[in-house]
Chain A
Amino acid sequence: MTDIIQAVINGVLTGALIAIPAMGLTAIFAVLRYVNFAIGPLATCGAFAAWVLNFRYGWPVLPAMAGSFVTVAAIGLAVEQAALARLRPSGALTVAIASIAVGIILENVLRFSFGNDLRAFDLPLMRDWRFWGLRVGPQQLQTAGIAVAMMAGVFAFLRFTRYGKAMRAVADNPDLARLFRMEPGRIAMATVALGTGLTGVGGALLGLDSAIDPMSGSRLLLPVFAAAVLGGLGSIPGAVAGAILIGIGEELSLLVIPATYRSAIGFLTILLVLSFRPGGLFGERAA
């Protein structure tokens, strides 16, 4: 029983990490209607940006996270303007495929710049907390706390600010938004900045949780995509719920299958959701 509870706790903590880039992926999908597969390598960019700021320049964790958000938002916007936006008239599939190519380029730029070695953040070592036979790392809790604060911030932004409401309106009906003086093109760019910035922070949080290398973000892509599909592509609450469920599913799977097959949970989820409930748990767009 303790093993199961431990797996659930680990799953929730892992899910909180997956949730941030999943929110980014689903926000971009809600407004621009394509799946940006570059989010894996963009998460890696975020991890390296935060690592450079923390390890090389000695920035504390929170400012390094902010730096990661800004850096990756800028990269995301540049990629969108230079490549993806130009391909939009060719359809969502073309843009999605192009985003895979962009991801490969970003990953190799990181490889040439930083090499393939594992790198870790400059963080104080802390002993795990133990209670009732369970174990939780303070670093894991801090990471999950940052993730939860980010989620709350995004929810508050979308729910209470006029710009956030305009983003939801454009995701809902861009033609109608234009009739009320909103500029869907400009709002789409703001969404790309928000979505890719979140992805960057997601990658940086991953770096706090474990060591990073140029493939770190790409390994995150499958559970992130599975979380967004499970929650319902385009739904931000769905992405968070999906991420927590995928996190728990992955951790519970370790009780019965070897860790090498952990990624099967993501594949299986995508397969089952697309077969039986293509709209995901939350059914429809509700950014």
Chain B
Amino acid sequence: MEQPDLGELMSGAIALRQLGKRYGRKWAVRGLDLVVEPGQIYGLLGPNGAGKSTTIRMLVGLIRPTAGEVFVWGRKIGVNGVAEDGGVGALVEGPAFYEYFSGYRNLAMLAGLSKKVSGTELEWALHQVRLWGRHRDKVGSYSHGMRQRLAIAQALVPRPRLLVLDEPAQGLDPQGLTEVRELLKELVAQGTTVLLSSHLLHEVEQICTHVGIIAKGELIASGTVAELLASDEGYEVTVASAQAATAALAQMALVREFSQDAEDTFTVWLHEDEPQQLNAGLVDAGVGVKGLRKKRTELEDVYLQLAADEQPLLAAAGVGERGEAP
């Protein structure tokens, strides 16, 4: 990955430069360069233990980096974390509140540490997460989903310029997921920048404009969702004879790579986007082509493919063997 230059560091809502955190001899995060531009919804993806939460903790100042720097709105974050910038709302690793206080009191107490917040603003946040009506109940009586919604509400007041959400979908029901998705889109439309981490690929694909994939503490891919999906587009070919197709595909110069997904189905990646030549080549080689269509790659495919190199377990879960073209 390329290192962000000074201009990017200063203009980005978030800029991480060569960020690293080491526990003993083990690096939890290493050499992480990442820039989130204003107005983006940036999704940080990665398997458990990849370093997403450590990155977010360094970003908000909960833990100190062993190496590198964190910039928020162009300002370097010091030992006081986001105290340097009052416009950051954050939810880090699940909800944690004072159980013997009501949801409203928790919210008022925490928001009051940022700046004086009006009752209207608190009410707005509680309405956004469907907690208005239960706001006078003690948090101890809340379900996990309600606590998660309260955690999102506390990140919303006062209205942040930058919202950092670690696994915001955790514990939410389908309605809650949809509402949070809509809420984030609305906030971004009003000028808020969002960084969220998740392992729910479908959610990230639906909501994020940009994605970074992190594995073993390193950023292994980054870009817009469209770029990442485009990077892995291939063609699904259904044939009459798999044996003949394997031989033909291995001989074709047009074919960059292929994999057999089922008994009669292959995914084929081409050097040039010319599927008609692929079809003609197969027919010329005597392979009966039953079907040929552009494969719709989902973020999950990209994620699994990228993470496969980093984590054998993920490969076993979802990535097939690939034959190499000549």
Do A and B associate with each other? Answer: no
- Residues of chain A touching chain B, judged by Cβ–Cβ distance below 8 Å, are none
